[in-house]
Amino acid sequence: MTKTSSSRRSADDRLFRLGTGFFAFLVVLLVAGIAYELFRDSRLSLEKFGFHFWRTTTWDPVAGQFGALPFIWGTLYSSFLALLISTPIALGIAIFLSELAPRALRTPLAFLTELLAAIPSIVYGLWGIFVLVPMVRQLEVHTPDWLKKIPLLSGPPLGVGMLSAGLILAVMVIPFTSSVAREVLKAVPATQREAAYALGATRWEAIQAALRFGRTGIMGAIILGLGRAIGETMAVTMVIGNNPKISPSLFAAQHTMSAVIANEFTEADTDLYLSALIEIGLVLFVITLIVNALSRFLIWSVSREIKAKAPKASAVISTRPEAAA
């Protein structure tokens, strides 16, 4: 090989690195662009209301009053309610599919549970309006009066409201949490369980050993689910009632951050109104960014730990059910 052709080759290689690197950079630029633009377009509201925006509860676009506390409340309430329901189920699925189920059943069952992640959010919403909400309304109608004295269960039986939103979100979050938790459990070295069995542990005690070993990653899986719940829009807006009133009641119609954006964005007739909605989007973006980064970090640190303790184990944990399915 002559010198010129080898130097041309290294120039080619550098060009290749730069060229492909540019496209990789586009991904970073995209996220930076989102942050910049949300910030720019919400400046009007940021400057006018400041922190007040997040502390007040009056949302009255006609009067130019914008207080976003009800939306934060609704988003947090519905997301944590969803996690409360989905976490035990998702972990149960993960344990069943990675530790207990007969080998022949594992793949098809995993496929089915992860199919829940593939159903479009609008279909969940449609099903929610016409099937789930009437069922919840029946439940509310039949709740005895003495129970309705508790603030958690007070209010008229509307069907639409926090309970419907929490239930539908829980179903939507399950596949995300369960598939990552399953991957974490799969990555836990078999020696952990074998050691437990050798000490005379029962099946559950051996599973506990595996759970304890992978707890950081399991936490990551749960937080990943939280991120999904916080950002979910269509299904929630169709069943939560879209009422910007803070209430502790599961039966009350409430609102969320994503739902108010979806509902009112095209109706925003003043610059301030639009800017207030975009500020909600900005905060939604920042919250999901932090939640996702935290979840990634936890999952990454458990896979690194496993790699360090058992170098041969496959410790690549995917965070996307689409990839696992």
Partner 1 sequence: MRQASRRRALSNVVVSLCGLAVVLALIPLVLIFIYVIKQGFSSLNWDFFTKMPKPVGEAGGGMANAMLGTLWLIAIAALFAIPVGIIAGVYLSEYRGSRFASLVRFTADVLNGVPSIVIGIFAYGLAVLPVHRFSALAGGLALGFMMIPIITRTTEELLNLVPPTMREGALALGATRARAAFGVMVPAALPGIMTGILVALARIAGETAPLLFTSFNNRYFTTRLDQPIASLTVQVYTYAISPYDDWHRQAWAGALVLVAFVFVFSVLARVVTRRLERMHRG
Q: Does 33 bind partner 1 (CB under 8 A)?
A: yes
Instruction: Report the site for partner 1 in 34-73 (rule: CB under 8 A).
Output: 34, 37-38, 40-41
- Rounded to a whole number of angstroms, the minimum distance from the CB of residue 35 to partner 1 is 9
* Residue among 68 and 261 whose Cβ is closer to partner 1: 261
* 257-264 vs 215-231: helix crossing angle, rounded to 10: 30
Applying CB under 8 A, which part among 124-132, 142-150, 212-220, 246-254 lies near partner 1? 124-132
Instruction: Please give the helix or strand (H or E) that residue 273 lies within, else none.
Output: helix 271-309
Of 150 and 290, nearer to partner 1 (C-beta) is 290
Residues 233-272 that bind partner 1 (CB under 8 A): 233-234, 238, 258, 261-262, 265-266
Q: Residue 84, interface with partner 1 (CB under 8 A)?
A: no
- Closer CB to partner 1, residue 147 or residue 293? 293
Among residues 77, 124, 213, 251, the one that binds partner 1 under rule CB under 8 A? 124
Choose one: 45-53, 138-146, 246-254, 290-298; the region binding partner 1 (CB under 8 A).
290-298
Tokens of 145: 């009066």
Between residues 23 and 146, which has the closer beta carbon with respect to partner 1?
A: 23
- Asked if 81 is part of the footprint of partner 1 (rule: CB under 8 A), the reply reads no
Helix extents (H) in 119-256: 121-127, 133-141, 145-148, 162-187, 190-198, 203-213, 215-231, 234-239
Taking the least distance from each CB to partner 1, the nearer of 147 and 267 is 267
Task: Tell me 65's DSSP state.
Answer: E
Cα dihedral 151, 156, 158, 159 sign: positive
* Residue with smaller CB distance to partner 1, 96 or 249: 96
Return d(Cα 273, Cα 320) in angstroms, integer: 36
Those residues whose C-beta lies under 8 Å from the C-beta of residue 278, and which sit 6 or more positions away, are 38, 41, 42, 45
End-to-end CA distance of the chain: give it in Å, rounded: 48
